[in-house]
Amino acid sequence: MALSREMRKLVNKWETESSWPKRLEWLEILNVRGWGGQRVDFNFPFVAITGENGVGKSTILQAIASAYKSSEESWFASDFFPDTPWDKITEASIKCSIREGNASTVVSVRKPSDRWRGNPNRRERIVNYIDLRRLQPIAAQTGYARIAKPQNIETNRLAFSAEKLARFSSIIGRPYRDAGFALSDADPNRWVPVADLPECKYSGFHQGAGEATITGLLKVDIPQYSVLLIDEIETSLHPRSQRRLMRDLAEICRLKELQIIITTHSPYILEELPNLGRIYVMNTSQGKTLITGVSPDFAMTQMDEEKHPEADIYVEDERSRIVIEEVVIAQKKELLPRCCIIPFGAASVGQALGKMVKQDRFPRPSLVFLDADQEPAEGCLLLPGDDAPERVVFEGLANKQWAGVAERIERSHSELVDATQTAMTLTNHHDWLKSVADKLIIGSNDLWRAMVISWVKECSIRADARKIVERIQSALDGIKFVDATPNEVPLTNPAPASPNDSPQLFRQ
């Protein structure tokens, strides 16, 4: 999915490298809730941390809040990570690199034994930490029940500014005439959210959970250059509101040069962010692993076990997934239902996954395929060809006069040839498929699948296809390939010069 206009503007400003004079560069957590000193890098000002429950997403937010000295509400590590009759934290530390202007400073708070130390040396920065307490219904909060008495009267009102009211209406998708917070004569300290729609006026005692969530978020004043931390940002919001909230925050992030770090389980939230804004945390046999740049498909597949596959196959994108599917269908179709093919996004993510495959860090057999225009990487295989899939398929079929494609998509051969010749003049090969699909009035994925089916049949890739299927079959059978050197991984490599150089097989 393409980035929104607001997120593209944020990306463009970030890439100038002339803004965000204050930012957290990285964070390390040691001996707190299973963290073993792993580093979390923040390479974009708006970052979502995702992963299954219990992997440590909230711990990251709490550690960030603990690492700063805030001039408003301030948090300490002892607030989030206390000793209890059941838990005792020792030899723990929270270390981070904080950039201010052109200088970076490494600071830490640590607990060598019985108390946290280093708090006076923390850097100052306003931190707004918003956790799941915001979701508690107002009627259930301490002291609010007596405010709901009908004999009480309003004594004060803090109305949203026109700008906040417009944001509230946009995110929720309703035409609010007024909104804000009010006090009653029953209590001078407990504020109640109120909202006014054309058809009715009501308080937080009658608000929906999504309205209450956004009202609470907008109540927070977020100063320039500050940090905003939000735990489970999507809770109580339907998908459209999730997207609108992300776009609203992207604009505020850009205008005020904020650093926003959130946690989420929502694909709609992840789709709004660029690759550098997505970090997946997973527990493995060797501790926590963090992967930056994952696709929403990758994240959702990792968190959802509905399909119960025997092996996972990771590919760069949807087009690569279709290539693998059609190669397997042509050779050994019965293997496909036993596998889950997962697009991972950026090639750098695939390289990180390849290392994890090499280190046996996945819970079930896994293969990683990079597109053939990438360099060989440890633990990874390359798709057939020597270039990006679009170039390999388009050029291969052009040499075969597009045999079989027109019939499969029910278009004339001349229309197809004209559209593909025009498309292949475009500089960016990623645009070729859409250009042809638009001219032929057909879905891009439908066209691509028809092309790949013909390419597999007509373009003499049987040897490479056989190797792909052999690798998948071996993974399903519990057999692992061990390469003589880390770079001997492309399926299109020539045969080894001697038996000593050839890949070996051993059973796990």
- One domain, residues 96 and 242: yes
pLDDT band at 428 (very low <50, low <70, confident <90, very high): very high
Give the model's pLDDT for residue 495: 37
Give the model's pLDDT for residue 397: 96
The residue among 295 and 229 whose pLDDT is bigger is: 229
- One domain, residues 377 and 421: no
Sequence length of the chain is 508
The residue among 487 and 194 whose pLDDT is bigger is: 194
Around Cβ 158, how many Cβ atoms within 10 Å? Answer: 11
Q: How many domains does the chain have?
A: 4
User: How far is CA 90 from each of CA 77, 81, 471, 503, 508, rounded to the nearest angstrom?
Assistant: 12, 11, 46, 47, 38
pLDDT band at 440 (very low <50, low <70, confident <90, very high): very high
Q: What percent of the chain has pLDDT over 90?
A: 70
Asked if residue 147 belongs to a domain, the reply is: yes
Can you tell me the mean pLDDT for 429-447? 96
CA nearest neighbour of 302 among 346, 363, 390: 363
CA nearest neighbour of 13 among 257, 277, 259, 229: 257
Phi then psi for residue 375, to 5 deg, are -70, 150
Give the model's pLDDT for residue 451: 97
The residue among 478 and 96 whose pLDDT is bigger is: 96
Q: What would the pLDDT profile of 390-402 be if each residue is shown by its tens digit?
A: 999 999 999 999 9
Can you tell me the mean pLDDT for 253-274? 96
Residue carrying structure tokens 């061990």: 482
Beta strands 154-159 and 127-130: pairing type? Answer: unpaired
Domain end position, chosen among 219, 242, 266: 219
Give the model's pLDDT for residue 197: 93
Inter-helix orientation angle 444-458/389-399, to 10°:
60
Question: Considering the entire predicted model, what is its pTM?
Answer: 0.75
With 90 as the cut, is the pLDDT of residue 486 above it? no
Asked if residue 377 belongs to a domain, the reply is: yes
Task: State how far Cα 473 lies from the chain centre.
Answer: 30
- One domain, residues 252 and 329: no
- One domain, residues 65 and 113: yes
Asked if residue 289 belongs to a domain, the reply is: no
With 70 as the cut, is the pLDDT of residue 475 above it? yes
- One domain, residues 487 and 399: no
Task: State how far Cα 345 lies from the chain centre.
Answer: 10
Beta strands 92-100 and 103-111: pairing type? Answer: antiparallel
- One domain, residues 332 and 362: yes
Asked if residue 340 belongs to a domain, the reply is: yes
- One domain, residues 448 and 467: no
CA nearest neighbour of 55 among 303, 274, 312: 303
Q: How far apart are CA 33 and CA 36, in angstroms?
A: 9
Domain end position, chosen among 173, 190, 219: 219
pLDDT band at 167 (very low <50, low <70, confident <90, very high): very high
- One domain, residues 74 and 142: no
Q: Which residues pair with 192 in a beta bridge?
A: 182
DSSP character at residue 27: E
Asked if residue 290 belongs to a domain, the reply is: no
- One domain, residues 215 and 146: yes
DSSP character at residue 117: B
Which span out of 17-21, 154-158, 283-287, 394-398 was modeled with the highest average pLDDT?
Answer: 394-398
Task: State how far Cα 169 lies from the chain centre.
Answer: 27
Q: What would the pLDDT profile of 313-352 be if each residue is shown by its tens digit?
A: 999 999 999 999 999 999 999 999 889 999 998 899 999 9
- One domain, residues 202 and 233: no
Q: How far apart are CA 147 and CA 216, in angstroms?
A: 18
pLDDT band at 248 (very low <50, low <70, confident <90, very high): very high
The residue among 469 and 139 whose pLDDT is bigger is: 469
With 70 as the cut, is the pLDDT of residue 501 above it? no
Give the model's pLDDT for residue 482: 53
SS (H, E, C) 470-490: HHHHHHHCCEEEECCCCCCCE
Asked if residue 299 belongs to a domain, the reply is: no
Q: What percent of the chain has pLDDT over 70?
A: 93
Can you tell me the mean pLDDT for 417-425? 96
Domain limits for position 327: 305-385+461-507
Q: What would the pLDDT profile of 108-160 be if each residue is shown by its tens digit?
A: 999 999 899 999 999 999 999 998 776 667 777 777 888 888 888 989 999 99
Give the model's pLDDT for residue 134: 65
Domain end position, chosen among 278, 313, 348: 278
- One domain, residues 98 and 237: yes
With 90 as the cut, is the pLDDT of residue 207 above it? no
Task: Give the 3-state secondary structure of residue 368.
Answer: strand
With 80 as the cut, is the pLDDT of residue 455 above it? yes
Can you tell me the mean pLDDT for 167-173? 94
Give the model's pLDDT for residue 273: 96
With 80 as the cut, is the pLDDT of residue 499 above it? no
Question: By the 8 A CB rule, do 244 and 213 touch?
Answer: no
Give the model's pLDDT for residue 502: 33
Asked if residue 293 belongs to a domain, the reply is: no
pLDDT band at 484 (very low <50, low <70, confident <90, very high): very low
Residue type (1 letter), 378: E
pLDDT band at 300 (very low <50, low <70, confident <90, very high): confident
With 50 as the cut, is the pLDDT of residue 504 above it? no
Give the model's pLDDT for residue 295: 86
Question: Which CATH number covers residue 261?
Answer: 3.40.50.300
Asked if residue 318 belongs to a domain, the reply is: yes
- One domain, residues 450 and 468: no
Give the model's pLDDT for residue 362: 87
Give the model's pLDDT for residue 306: 61
Question: By the 8 A CB rule, do 70 and 5 touch?
Answer: no
Q: How far apart are CA 320 and CA 507, in angstroms?
A: 28
DSSP character at residue 495: P
Q: What would the pLDDT profile of 220-230 be if each residue is shown by its tens digit?
A: 889 999 999 99
Mean pLDDT of the chain: 89
**DSSP H helix total and E strand total for the chain:** 16, 22
